[in-house]
Structure formats: C-alpha cells, structure tokens
C-alpha cells in the first residue's frame, strides 16, 4: 500500500504506546464503561487496568463497581479505548 | 479495473486529519477528526462525540482507538449540522 | 524429500488452501449504478457505486440510509431516510448487494388492514 497508509499504521500503534500508564476509558460492546490507569494493552486489544471503576455508558450513571487491584478486559469485547 | 475507479481505503486515507463519521453495526456512531487507521480499519480519532441513535452519549477530549471489529460505514467530512 | 513425496505434499497443500479466491460477483457491472446494500446489524442503504476493492469494501455516492423503527429494529421506515453523501462501506459487514433498478421497497403485506372488510 501507499506510504501514507504506512504512516497512519504507525498512528494507531503510536497511540497504544503513548497511553500506557495514563488514565483511560474503555467501553465494551455491552455498554459497560471502565475507567482506570492503563497497565498494558496488546494487539488484540486485551487490556489491563489498575484502580478501575465500572459504570454503564457514562461515568455520570452511578458507580457499579470499584476495583482496587487489576482488571483484565478481553480484547474481543472492547469497543474503544480513549484518553482520560 | 478501470483507472477511474475509486478505492475505498484510499478515500479513508485521504480523510486523515479531517472530520469523519463512523457508524457501527449497532445504533452507535462516532464523529471526530481522523488521526489514522490500520489494516483491520481499527481507527484512531480525536475530539470524539459518541452517539447512540441521534442522542449524544459522551464527549471525549483526547484521542480514541475505535475497534474495527464492528465498524460498518465511514462518512468522510463528518456528521452534518 | 523425494520427488513423489514433494508431489503429495504439494497436492495436500493445494487441498488445504482450497479453490482460488475469486470474486463471484463482478462489481464492475454496477459501476455508477444505483445499488442497495444490507449490512450486518440491520442497516440498509442505497447509493451509486463509485468504487470497490478485493475485500468488497465499497464506495457509494449520494447514499441514503433507511431508518428503522425505534421499538422494532426489523421494521424499515421507507419514508424515513437520511442523506449520507459519499460513504465507505466495510466489506466485512456486507450482507447483501443488489441493483436497485426494477426493485422497490413495498409496505408490509402482512400488516393488518385498517378497514373491516380487509381491503
């Protein structure tokens, strides 16, 4: 493919490496929203979070659960991961 | 193949840096600035608005990696209004 | 590996790979024609085919999406549409593709009639 595509491929990989250790939001296909510190992420979008909270759809929707330790989220269920 | 033909991924590639409207198989939709995408058409967006049907769900200030798994349509130029 | 061994190996490899993947439908005949596309999840759009690739990703222009009933996703509201303009459709989500000419969306024939005689 074109060189432009190669540079944008880097953009998605760059995003993943840039957000490690930052505070992120992860939404699943079910609508569950997890917010916490990103411990790690792989190419399948498997995700490990630390100190995460769980809400439905938005953080304004009431706390469903607080995880003091790590939470592992399976990549197949991940709809998106975003900063803060 | 004729030379006049437009390649789908080429159009997405030309949209990088511009607004885009992404629709999933569900009623969920996202608009934002296209930062990039990969071979699976996983998409990185910036300044995202998330919709369910036409109702705004959430605004995301930073970047977002949207899984290509459930993306069904992409509209370069973003959502009207 | 002996020559005969190599041959059976190659045959097995061929069997494993299956037939060569060729497109069963030639989309070039719909180029610049109005087509109707159904997608996984129930979205339905019509538009003019402007381009496509090997993976059946499509480029449609003057695209119109048919909206569905808020309560029942299976009901397509043929009078409620929205204009999307130029869109790219993912081949992975494509369910059906057909030319629009000679086809129209009709009202549900199984819907009960309003009047008592049933007409």
**pLDDT one-digit tens code per residue, A34-61:** 999 999 999 899 999 999 999 998 888 8
A 10 A CB-CB count for A46 gives: 15
Q: Which residues in chain B have Cβ-Cβ distances shorter than 8 Å to C39? A: 25, 72-73
Residue whose entry in the numeric block shows the structure tokens 């494993």: C16
Q: Quick one: which of C31, C22, C12, C20 has its CA closest to C97?
A: C31
Q: Quick one: which of B18, B57, B4 has its CA closest to C28?
A: B4
**Is B9's CB within 8 Å of C57's CB?**
yes
B→A interface, C-beta within 8 Å = 9-10, 13, 16, 24, 26, 28, 30, 35-39, 42-44, 48, 52, 57-58, 60-67, 69-70
Beta carbon pairs, A and B, within 8 Å: 78
Which two three-digit tokens encode residue B45?
């967006």
Report pLDDT digits (tens) over B26-61: 999 999 999 999 999 999 999 999 999 888 888 898
ipTM: 0.91
Angstrom distance (rounded) from CA C60 to CA A41 = 35
Q: Class assignment of domain A4-83? A: mainly beta
Residue B12, H or E segment: helix B8-15
Nearest to B38 among A9, A82, A84 (CB): A9
| Three-state SS annotation for C24-77 | CCCHHHHCCCEEEEEECCCCEEEEEEEEECCCCCEEEEEEEEEEECCCCCCCEE
Domains of chain B and CATH, by start: 15-76 (2.30.30.100)
Residue C16, H or E segment: helix C3-17
Read off the pTM: 0.82
List chains touching A (3+ CB pairs under 8 A): B
Which two three-digit tokens encode residue C34?
């109005």
Q: What are phi and psi of A80, to 5 degrees?
A: -155, 165
| Domain covering C28-95 in this structure, CATH number | 2.30.30.100
pLDDT band for position C117 (cuts 50, 70, 90): low
Among C87, C94, C95, C96, most B C-beta atoms within 10 A, so best to mutate, is C87
Angstrom distance (rounded) from CA A31 to CA A53 = 14
Report pLDDT digits (tens) over C47-91: 999 999 999 999 999 999 999 988 888 888 878 899 999 999 999
Domain locations in chain C as residue ranges: 28-95
């Amino acid at each position: 493919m074109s060189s432009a595509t190669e540079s944008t491929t880097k953009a998605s990989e760059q995003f993943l490496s840039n957000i490690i250790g930052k505070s992120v939001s992860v939404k699943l296909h079910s609508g569950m929203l997890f917010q916490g510190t990103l411990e790690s992420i792989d190419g399948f979008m498997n995700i490990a979070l630390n100190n995460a909270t769980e809400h439905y759809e938005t953080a304004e929707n009431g706390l469903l659960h607080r995880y003091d330790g790590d939470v592992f989220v399976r990549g197949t269920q991940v709809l998106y991961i975003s900063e803060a | 193949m004729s030379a006049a033909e437009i390649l789908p991924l080429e159009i997405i590639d030309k949209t990088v840096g511009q607004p885009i409207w992404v629709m999933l198989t569900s009623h969920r939709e996202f608009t934002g600035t296209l930062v990039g995408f990969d071979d699976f058409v996983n998409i990185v967006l910036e300044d995202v608005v998330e919709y369910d049907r036409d109702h705004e769900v959430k605004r995301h200030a930073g970047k977002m990696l949207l899984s290509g798994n459930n993306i069904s349509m992409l509209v370069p130029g973003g959502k009207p209004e | 590996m002996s020559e005969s061994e190599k041959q059976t190996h190659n045959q097995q490899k061929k069997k494993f790979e299956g037939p060569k993947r060729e497109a069963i439908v030639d989309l070039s005949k719909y180029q610049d024609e109005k087509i109707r596309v159904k997608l996984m999840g129930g979205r339905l759009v019509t538009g003019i085919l402007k381009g496509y690739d090997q993976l059946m990703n499509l480029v449609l222009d003057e695209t119109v999406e048919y909206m569905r009933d808020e309560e029942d996703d299976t009901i397509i509201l043929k009078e409620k549409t929205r204009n999307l303009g130029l869109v790219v459709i993912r081949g992975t989500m494509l369910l059906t593709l057909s030319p629009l000419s000679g086809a129209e969306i009709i009202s549900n024939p199984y819907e009960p009639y309003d009047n008592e005689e049933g007409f």
